[in-house]
Amino acid sequence: MNANELKLLSPVNVGPLSLSHRVVLAPMTRLRSEADDSPSAMMVAYYRQRASAGGLLITESAHPSYDSRGYIGAPGIYTDAHVEAWKQITDAVHASGGRIFMQIAHDGRQSHVDLSWGNAPVAPSVVPYETTVLTQDGWVPNSPHRALELHEIPAIVESFRRAAERAKEAGFDGVELHNANGYLADTFLQDGTNTRTDAYGGTVAKRARFSLEVVDAFASVWGADRVGVRVSPSGRWGAISDSNPQATFGYFADRLNTYGLAYLHVIEPRVMGTETLEEGAEPVASSFLRQHFFGPIIAAGGFTREGAESILQRGDADLVAFGRWFSSNPDLPERFRHGHPLTPYRRDAFWGGNESDYIDFKTYDEELQAQVVAESCTSNE
């Protein structure tokens, strides 16, 4: 298909923002923050490289408090120093004409006592779970978690609200609640991890209460049209599960639809090519949620250009977020526009490291220039 005919490269509005294309940088944890959880100079370069005029970037998840971390090296948004460091990123993105939302997440039970002053990770309920998390001693098993007491929950919601305030001070264009991948908000929502019998558990309305309180907190700072929410209805990351995901996520999307949010960000089962899903994956989630949420939907899940165009043409999504391919192709929208080949991503550099395979990827034009220089040097030998 001619690039001029691609819906992927056509304008779209997200809340009050007018975007020139629908290619979104997906939030992708890279674990390259400073020791105090401030964004590093590497991160400034990373987001600057991927900013484009009228394009939307969503940051890797930032933590609203010291004890909400699950991985050392992930950024925070709970101190004034963090605000100042994030300002360098928002300034760099805006200088390129881009827009940027901050994703905010509490990692919940996916954590370790060494990351929270020796305190056990928290969750809505105690449901045995094993994974590995990154501490100063490297990748280690997560610590056993404990169930939050009822009186503790308002303080966590307040930490999200304050984080949203700090994100605004740092110059972001909006915020996104990470309500996916088995982190704290997601574990409240789904009944496989929420076995509470109080005001935050039992019925789907009660299980959705925590997330909706955070959305309310975000909206009180930003206005709802600058707030997004990310969900993973088909996800299994973090040993997450629900006995009736259609009922749970249908209800949740219905409630979110009343806010006038900037968008709903939906993680699909990973898409291979245009339509084929990985073995064992469930049918795509966006088409179901479209029946409940009528604002902009961002789909994410390993899309190619063709797969992204397909879901947009079907009307199941309005924008498509790319993580892996954006990691190795800082000019991804332009590569899609011109049909240029994509540089392979480096999976072993995703979670931590240095500048290598992080900010040393070239644009397509830079690759051509480097090739010309190399050929010139060879011919002169």
Residue 278 Cα distances to 235, 250, 268, angstroms: 13, 24, 11
Whether residue 183 contacts residue 235, with contact meaning beta carbons closer than 8 Å, is answered with: no
Distance of CA 33 to the CA centre of its chain: 16
Task: State the DSSP string of 121-183.
Answer: PEESS------EEEETTEEEEPPPPEEPPGGGHHHHHHHHHHHHHHHHHTT-SEEEEEE-TTS
Strand partners, 132: 141
Q: Where do we find the tokens 């940027």?
A: 100
Q: Is 54 left (phi over 0), alpha (psi -120 to 50) or beta?
A: left
Distance of CA 197 to the CA centre of its chain: 30
Residue 183 annotated as catalytic: yes
| CB neighbour list of residue 332: distance below 8 Å, 6 or more residues apart | 23, 50, 322, 325, 326, 342
Interatomic CA distance for residues 20 and 370, integer angstroms: 29
Interatomic CA distance for residues 347 and 185, integer angstroms: 27
Residues 71, 78, 183, 251: which is the catalytic one?
A: 183
Please tell me whether residue 231 adopts helix, strand or coil conformation.
strand
Task: State the DSSP string of 276-334.
Answer: EEPTTPPPPSHHHHTTT--S-EEEESS--HHHHHHHHHHTS-SEEEESHHHHH-TTHHH
Catalytic site positions: 183
